[in-house]
Amino acid sequence: MPDQPRTPGQRAASRRPRPPGYDEITVAAPPAPALCSNAEHRRLYVLAEAVITFGELGVAWQKDAIWMHNWGKSFSLCRECFATVTGFARARRPGLKIIDTRAPSTASSNPTATNREPTGH
C-alpha cells in the first residue's frame, strides 16, 4: 500500500445517500441530537429536526444563485428554520428538488386509510 498524501475526498461516509446535485437539497434525520444551526436558536437550545445538504442552487456567481458558499455543506435545522430555508429556496429556485430521505413517520395521519368505502353486497 503506497503512502498517499491526504486525499480531498474521504470515503468514510459510505452509508450516506448520494450527494445533492444541481438544484437539489437533501434532507436527512439528524444522526444524533443536535442543536439548530441558527445562532439564536442554538443559544435557546432548540434541537434540530433535520439535516439538510445543499446542492448547487444555481450557476456559480450568477445573480440568481443562492447560498453559493454553502453548496455541498450540511446544516442541522429545527422545524421552523427548515421551513424558512426550504421556503426561501423554493421561491428563488423554481426547479428545486428537495429530496427527503427521512423515514416517513406520519402513518397515523394517512388520509387514504380513513377514506375507504365499504364494499359490501
Residues that bind Zn ion (CB under 5 A): 36, 38, 41, 78, 81
Return the number of the residue (50 or 96) whose C-beta is nearest Zn ion.
50
Return the number of the residue (51 or 81) whose C-beta is nearest Zn ion.
81
Residues in contact with 106: Cβ distance below 8 Å, sequence separation at least 6, in sequence order: none
Least CB distance to Zn ion at residue 22 (A): 26
Least CB distance to Zn ion at residue 76 (A): 9
Least CB distance to Zn ion at residue 34 (A): 11
For residue 25, give the nearest of 79, 69, 75 by alpha carbon.
Answer: 75
Return the number of the residue (22 or 37) whose C-beta is nearest Zn ion.
37
Q: Which value, to the nearest 10 degrees, does the dihedral of the CA atoms of residues 49, 96, 14, 29 take?
A: 10
CA 69 to the chain's CA centroid: 16
